[in-house]
Structures are given as C-alpha cells and as structure tokens.
Structure 1
Amino acid sequence: MKLLFVADPLASFKTYKDSTFAMMREAASRGHELLACEPQDVMWQRGGRVSAPLRAFTLTGDAYDWFKPQGEPQVSALADVDAIVMRKDPPFDSEYFYATHLLGQAEREGARVFNSPRALRDHPEKLAILEFPQFIGPTLVTRSEADIKRFHAEHRDIILKPLDGMGGMGIFRVGPDGLNLGSITETLNKGGAETVMVQKYLTEIVKGDKRILVIDGVPVPHALARIPQGSEIRGNLAVGGKGVAQPLSARDREIAEAIGPVLAKRGLLLVGLDVIGDCLTEINVTSPTGFQEITQQSGFDVAKMFVDALESALKN
C-alpha cells in the first residue's frame, strides 16, 4: 500500500517524539510504501488532477539521518496513492485552508484523505468545543472588551487565548485583581478586530492538561497529562510542560466515548481531546501528537492502533 504523508519537511522531524514518524515507522514495518510531500507542493490545473512531486523514502533506523530518499521526487496524481495522511502542523492559516480545498478536489478525483479535508475546515480546534457544552467549563467567545470584563467580574480568575494559537502561544491568565486585563484584551482582540476565547481558570491544571487521543471513535486507554512546570500556567510540551501518561479516568472516558464516534462519522480518524480536570477545553484535529510519549510510558502501542484503523478504513 502506498501511503502519502502531507507534512512539514522530513528533515525538520524530531523523531524521538514525533507522532507522524511513529505512524511512518509502524506503516513501514508492515511493508507499506512511504511517500511524502509538503502542502506547498500540491497543485491543480484544468484538464488534469491534483498532483505533487512525491518523494519515496525508506527509514534507516538512525536517530538523526533517519530517512533515505528513493530516487528523485516524481510528479504524480494524489488519487493514485492508496491513502493520504494530512499531518501538516498548525497554524491553521490561509495556506492550510487552501491546502484542504486542494485535498478536497483530490478526494473528488478518488483520493482517500485522513483526516477529511472538509472535517478539518469544519472543526476549528478552539471553537469545536462549542458543539459539546455539556462537557466544557464556563467559556466566552467574543470580540467585545465589555463582554470580557463582564466575564472576568463573574468568574474572577480567567484564561484568555487567541483562536489561532498553537502550542500554548498567546495564552494569558488574569486573576481576581484584574491586573492588565485591558491591555491583554487589546493585544488579543486587536482593538475589537479579532475574536478571543475566554475561559474560567481551572485549578486542576496543576495536575495536567490531559491529551486524550481518539482513533476512529475509540479512545486510547491512556492520556498524556501535560503538567506545567515552575511558575508557568501552561502545560503544553512546546513551552516546557512535563508529559506523564496515565490511565483515562471515568470522566475522561465519558467525554471521549460521547464525542469520538460523532467526529469519526464526519471523517476525523484521529482526534486529540484536551481535558483539564473534568472539562473539555479543545478538540485537536490537524496534527494531534502524544503517540510516542504514551507508548513509551504505558506500553500501549498508539501507532499500531492508528495504522490498524487506517487499514480498516481503506477496506470500507
């Protein structure tokens, strides 16, 4: 089977922790052929099909010089491979958006794309939680400074974040004294030009911001709790959080088992739910991570579960 990974440059991978690499390694162990391209490589012209120069490669087993190209990239139609795995990291900017439309055209030409391009567009990672209010804490989405001040007056300790942030970027906490609330609001909402998400600060963050992976509607039995370190309020691994694998709690499983099948039916083969305490805070669909940390610490092979699900999806 030919598997095409649409991803960031292979040379930029940190293979000791990269979830896409874990997928590739598992797929290669089963004899599948690996191909790669970057979103900017994808093109379409009238009279033809969506295509890109596809690089075939093998894995070397070396931690650093980890892949070996097999000849020069060959321009091919994306619909001619067996499966396309969209693994471009955020941000979900205009170019990512356009890439989903090109991949959507490839689908119309017969390609199988995971996660579904339409589903990627329909589930922005911050706003997707609005569909599941029964699982989230007090949350506000607005451009209005007055709305934010009112929310702070009600909840006293709040988190503000941009809708297009990733890896903990642009997250602020404002406590009961309201210090710098006005300045932070102006910074995030650009004077009322951009929408902001505001949530009640959840004290359970000290125990970790849990990443729950859901594959084809089924939760991985262990979450990765990303625990803030020192004076940091963010647990994201990108800003120094410590990742600790732990079994799902009853509440974790309740959330995952309620949301997972709904999203799977929409073409989201892989989803990362972020949960703090008992509250869902984000739904990650672009490039969920945590495969290697969970596998290394718990012994549960997440990449195996993913490739099993991918192979099963291709039979349907």
Structure 2
Amino acid sequence: MRLLVIADPVVGFKIHKDSTYVMLREAARRGWELWVTQAHDLRVYNGVVEAAAQKLTFTDTQEYKIWFELEPHLQQPLKDFGAVLMRKDPPFDAQYLYATHLLSLAEAQGARVFNPGQTLRDYNEKLAILKHPEFITPTMVTQRAADIRVFLAEHQDVILKPLDGMGGMGIFRITPNDPNVGSIIETLTENETRTVMAQRYLPAIKDGDKRVLLIDGKPVDWCLARIPAAGETRGNLAAGGTGVARPLTPRDREIAETLGPQLAAKGLFLVGLDVIGDNVTEINVTSPTCFQEITAQSGIDVAALFIDALERKLGL
C-alpha cells in the first residue's frame, strides 16, 4: 500500500511530539510505502491532480533532522496512491483553500483523501461548533466592535479569538474593566474588517483544555488535558501549557459519542475536539495532534488505532 502525506517539510518535524511522525512510523512498521509532499507541490496537469512527491524511508536513528531519507521528487497522480493524508498545519488561508479544491478534484478522479477537501472547507475549526449548539458556551461571531461590547456587558468575562489561528495564537481574555478593551477589539477585528469569535469565559480552563480524539467517529478512551501555565489563560501546548493525559469523563464521552458518528458521516476521519468543562470550544479537522502525549501517558497506541481504522476504511 502506498501512502501519500501532505504536510509541512519533514525536516521541521519535532519528532518527540509530532503526530504525523508516529503515523508514518506505524505505517512503515506495517510495510506501507511512504511518500511525502507539500500543499504547494500539488498541480493539475492534463486535467489530472498530481503531486511532486518524495519517497520517504526511515533511517536507523531517531535524531532530529536525520531520521529520514528522501528520494528525488516524482510527479504522480494522487489517484495512484492507496491513501492520501492531508496533514498541512493551519492557518486556513487562501492557499490552503485552493489545495482543498484540488483534493476534491482528485477525489472525483479516484483518490482516497483523509480528511476530504469538502469537509475541510465545511468545518472551519472555530465556526464548526455552531453546528452543535447544545454543546457550546454562549458564543458570538462578528466583526463589529459594538456587538462585542454588548456581548461583553452581558457575560462580563469573555474570550476573543481569530477564526484562522492555531496554538492559542491571537486569543485574548477581556473583562469590562480592562483598560485595553478598545485596543484589543480594534487589533483583532483589524478595525472592523475581520470577523472574530467571542465566547463566555469558562473557569473550567484551570482544569485543562481537553483534546478528545475521534478516529472514524469513535473516541480514543483517553484525552489530553492541556493545563495553562501560571498566569496564563490559554492551555495550548504551544502557549506553554502542560499536557496531562486523562480518561474521558462521562461528559467527554457523551460529547464524543454524539458528535463522532455525525462527523464521520460527513467524511471526517480524524477529528480533535477541544473541550473545556462541559463545552466544546473547537472542532479541529486540519491536522489534529496529541497522539504521542496520550500514548506516552496512557499506554494507548493512538497511531496504531489510527492506522487500524485507516486500513479498515480502505478494506485491507
């Protein structure tokens, strides 16, 4: 079986925590032939979606930057691979959007893409929660400063965030007495030209922003609670949070088992739900992570679960 992974350059993988890395490791262990490419190496030639892909093999070392060997680029149709994994990190900008359209065209030509291009377009990682209002905290989406001020006056303690960020980037917590409210709103909305999300602050963040993984609609039994650093609002690991693996709570499982089949029915094979307390705050579909952290602390081999599910999906 030939596997193509579309991701950022492998030379930059932080192999001690990268989820795509352990996906590749597990696929290689099972004898899959591995190929990698980047989103900007996709093209349409004579009507066929192709990638300038490189065959990847693992070396005998796991040291940073020398764990792999790459062969020269070779133009190949996406339909000629057994599976294509879209693992390009956000932001979901115009170039990312164009890549999803090429993936959809490739699917029409017979490629098996996970997660598919259409679902990546339909499920903005911030806005997708609005499809499931029963599981979210009070939320507003707007680019108007007056709207945000009304929402802030109603809820008193509010989180503001851009719709295209990752790793906690651009997230602010504001209260009515904050002297910088006006400046924060102006900055995030770029003077009312950029749409943002406002959510009522959830005090349960102190116990962690939990990443709950869904693989083909089924939850992994443990999640990763990302605990904010002292004096920090954000639990994101990229913002200094500490990851603590925990079994799913009954509420976590209720959310996961309700949303999992719905998301899988839309074609979403791998999803990372962000859960604070009893509420879903994001539905991550571009390149969900935390495989290694959960595996190291729980003993659950998440990468093996993922490749197991992928092989079942492909009928192997």
Match of 1:216 in 2: 216
Residues of 2 paired with 1:199 and 1:61: CA distance?
48
Match of 2:259 in 1: 259
Q: Does 1:274 align with 2:274?
A: yes
Q: Does 1:16 align with 2:19?
A: no
Match of 2:117 in 1: 117
Q: Which moved more, 1:141-150 or 1:29-38?
A: 141-150
CA shift digits 1:286-315 (9 cap, x unpaired): 000000000000000100110011111112
Number of residue pairs matched by the alignment: 314
* Pairwise CA distance, 1:207: 0.7
Match of 2:69 in 1: 68
Q: Secondary structure at the match of 1:44?
A: strand
Match of 1:315 in 2: 315
**1:6-155 to 2 correspondence within 5 Å?**
6-45=6-45, 47-63=46-62, 64=64, 65-69=66-70, 71-155=71-155
Q: CA RMSD in A?
A: 1.1
Q: Secondary structure at the match of 1:182?
A: helix
Q: Which moved more, 1:122-131 or 1:140-149?
A: 140-149
The letter of the residue matching 1:166 is M
Question: 4+ residue runs of structure 1 moved beyond 4 angstroms?
Answer: none
Q: Secondary structure at the match of 2:225?
A: strand
Match of 2:186 in 1: 186
Residues of 1 paired with 2:130 and 2:280: CA distance?
10
Residues of 2 paired with 1:51 and 1:124: CA distance?
26
The letter of the residue matching 2:55 is A
Q: Which runs of 5 or more structure 2 residues have no equivalent in the other structure?
A: none
In the superposition, the TM-score normalised over structure 2's length comes to: 0.97
* Pairwise CA distance, 1:108: 1.0
* Pairwise CA distance, 1:268: 0.6
Residues of 2 paired with 1:289 and 1:310: CA distance?
17
Residues of 2 paired with 1:239 and 1:78: CA distance?
36
Q: Secondary structure at the match of 2:20?
A: helix
Residues of 1 paired with 2:153 and 2:114: CA distance?
43
The letter of the residue matching 2:134 is Q
**1:218-297 to 2 correspondence within 5 Å?**
218-297=218-297
Q: Which runs of 5 or more structure 1 residues have no equivalent in the other structure?
A: none
Residues of 2 paired with 1:4 and 1:29: CA distance?
16
CA shift digits 1:211-241 (9 cap, x unpaired): 0000000000001000001211111011111
Residues of 1 paired with 2:128 and 2:257: CA distance?
16
CA shift digits 1:128-184 (9 cap, x unpaired): 000111000111111111111111111111110111111101101112424321111
Residues of 1 paired with 2:254 and 2:207: CA distance?
19
**1:170-185 to 2 correspondence within 5 Å?**
170-185=170-185
User: Given the superposition, is the C-alpha separation of residues 253 and 235 from structure 1 closer, same or farther in structure 2, using an over 3 Å criterion?
Assistant: same
* Pairwise CA distance, 1:4: 0.2
User: Given the superposition, is the C-alpha separation of residues 183 and 260 from structure 1 closer, same or farther in structure 2, using an over 3 Å criterion?
Assistant: same
* Pairwise CA distance, 1:61: 4.1
Residues of 2 paired with 1:176 and 1:52: CA distance?
51
User: Given the superposition, is the C-alpha separation of residues 9 and 104 from structure 1 closer, same or farther in structure 2, using an over 3 Å criterion?
Assistant: same
Residues of 2 paired with 1:257 and 1:206: CA distance?
25
Q: Does 1:301 align with 2:297?
A: no
Q: Percent identity?
A: 59
In the superposition, the TM-score normalised over structure 1's length comes to: 0.97
* Pairwise CA distance, 1:73: 1.9
Residues of 2 paired with 1:176 and 1:221: CA distance?
40
CA shift digits 1:24-76 (9 cap, x unpaired): 0110110011000001111003x34111221111112422211112x322111
Match of 1:169 in 2: 169
